[in-house]
Amino acid sequence: MSLKDGNAYKESLKTLNHNVFAFGEKIENVVDHPLFSPHIKAAALTYDLAHDPSTEDLVTAISHLTGKKINRFTHIHQSTEDLVKKVKMLRMIAGKTGSCFQRCVGFDALNATYSVTYEMDEELGTDYHQRFRNYLEYIQDNDLMVAGAMTDPKGDRGLSPGNQKDPDMYVHIVEKNDKGIVIRGAKVHQTGIVNSHEMLVMPTIALGEGDKAYAVACALPTDAPGVVHIFGRQTNDERRLEGGEIDQGNAKYGTVGGEALTVLENVFVPWERVFMCEEYQFAGLLVERFASYHRQNYGGCKAGVSDVIIGATTAMAEYNGVAKASHVRDKIVEMVHLTETLYCGSIACSCEGAPTPSGAYFVNPLLANTVKQNVTRFIYEISRLSHDVSGGCIATLPSEKDLRHPEIGKYVEKYFKGVDSAPAEDRIRMARLVENMTGGTALVESMHGAGSPQAQRVMILRQANLGRKVKLAEKLAGIKPPKS
């Protein structure tokens, strides 16, 4: 099958029988519903760009399984060049959408599962890797969008999965038979899952022997029997239902990634789609590998989003008549500095990547976690500076209906005008874009997407090799190692 374009992707979603709820109602047509449409358009762009001669080198790759040209979002990294191209691709697409395009989680889940199943088979004599290769070839051949499903509700975080009062707080195996397994539980914060074809379930934390029922990795269609998606609220999401455009800020592509709570109510998974079943020893490795791949992304996609924020902030400074003020220019320089620092980190962790035993390439985990740690701070500062330069109107603008009103519209247009060269509507549109991109849901995602800041600090300490650093210092200080 050839590479899908955006229209083919949208049409393929219409063939699915998703069980989706939002605002207390079941949604029968996800593709055309205004609540989901911006997210679907952003994902569709990842398909269209694979056909654009100016971007196809970044958005496509050659499958190491089949030798066919595939969308890079279904590719297994074969070199540090692949890792670098991934980051460049994410920045490029984010610059075009100004929002999340939702395919990164599944991309990282495919890569993490590929290498970990290989190492499981090497140690345990299982056949998970070949199963996964067959599944991956299916994904590549049909150009499917995969949602990576890692995060569990977790319940009481002070208790292990097996000690929870409600065992469903972590996805777990409730039955095994000759045909497959049955799983139960839920996955939360699921980016783009209502407009994905498949979901790849993974454990969310390292596990002990007492938690082996929770050591499960498997793939299932997002419309499989027993799967229920409950769409999450986002800041200002009701504006999509009002029929206007300006108040949405980014009406075409929305904000963040259309997250959902996905309930798995006794879902059957055939054995050929099971890639971990009680092998608890490898749950931690799968989590760490996925997390590092996913944290690699943020200096790419967040740099692309920040490019748009910087552009919008610069435009607001021009509309406000303060673009030449030295303190404004200095603040924009700082926004650029922070953005490029994030990008440097993602490129560095990619260039410092290395092959795993499977042959697939893995990022430098210390640098990848450092990237995401910086995102939890820098995006907030970039947004703060944008608010500073743009002005208070980004939070107090009248609605588009007021702007269009036959009686009061003239007042909105008159009193929200800045410099003569810019129409008031342009200033209003740009202010709404700043509001959309720098507040609410977007900032929370920067903090907690790909794991909490503390999760990155744990990984940074684990990867820091403090013993080596102590030895470097002792040598320079003239301290001899103790005699054995």
**Cβ neighbours of residue 333 closer than 8 Å, sequence gap 6 or more:** none
Report the alpha-carbon distance of residue 359 to residue 124 in Å, rounded.
19
Q: What is the separation of C-alpha 148 from the centre of its chain, rounded to a whole number of angstroms?
A: 9
Catalytic annotation present for 294:
yes
Out of 298, 319, 343, 361, pick the active-site residue: 298
Q: Is 191 annotated as a binding residue?
A: yes
Catalytic annotation present for 100:
yes
Catalytic annotation present for 191:
yes
Report the alpha-carbon distance of residue 177 to residue 287 in Å, rounded.
26
Instruction: Kindly write down the DSSP assignment for every residue of 337-368, as one continuous string.
Output: HHHHHHHHHHHHHHHT-EE-TTS-EE--HHHH
Which regions of 374-445 does DSSP assign to beta strands (E)? Answer: none
Catalytic annotation present for 135:
no
Cα–Cα distance list, 245 to 194, 203, 312, 401, 412 (Å) = 23, 40, 17, 10, 17
Out of 129, 172, 197, 294, pick the active-site residue: 294
Catalytic annotation present for 126:
no
Q: Which two tokens stand for residue 110?
A: 């495919």
Catalytic annotation present for 393:
no
Q: Which two tokens stand for residue 388?
A: 């500073």
Q: Which two tokens stand for residue 451?
A: 């794991």
Is residue 316 helix, strand or coil? helix
Out of 218, 301, 349, 393, pick the active-site residue: 301
Q: Does residue 319 contact residue 419 with C-beta atoms inside 8 Å?
A: yes
Residue type, 355: P
Out of 191, 314, 356, 370, pick the active-site residue: 191
Q: Does residue 261 contact residue 199 with C-beta atoms inside 8 Å?
A: no
Helix%, strand%, coil% for the chain, nearest 5: 55, 15, 30
Out of 39, 46, 104, 119, pick the active-site residue: 104
Burial of 67 (0-12, 13-18, 19+ CB in 10 A): exposed
Out of 288, 318, 400, 445, pick the active-site residue: 445
Give the other-Cβ count within 10 Å of 410's Cβ: 11
Report the alpha-carbon distance of residue 254 to residue 258 in Å, rounded.
9
β-pairing, 20-22 with 227-231? parallel
Kindly tell me the number of DSSP H helices and DSSP E strands found in the chain: 16, 14
User: What single-letter DSSP state applies at residue 149?
Assistant: E
Q: Which two tokens stand for residue 219?
A: 């793939």
Report the alpha-carbon distance of residue 415 to residue 208 in Å, rounded.
63
b or e along 23-52 (b: 16 or more beta carbons within 10 Å of the residue's beta carbon)?
eeeebeebbebebbbbbbbbbbbbbbbbee
Catalytic annotation present for 278:
no
Out of 198, 259, 318, 400, pick the active-site residue: 259
Catalytic annotation present for 298:
yes
Please enumerate, by residue number, every residue annotated as part of a binding site for FAD: 191
Residues acting as catalytic residues: 100, 104, 191, 259, 294, 298, 301, 445
Please enumerate, by residue number, every residue annotated as part of a binding site: 191
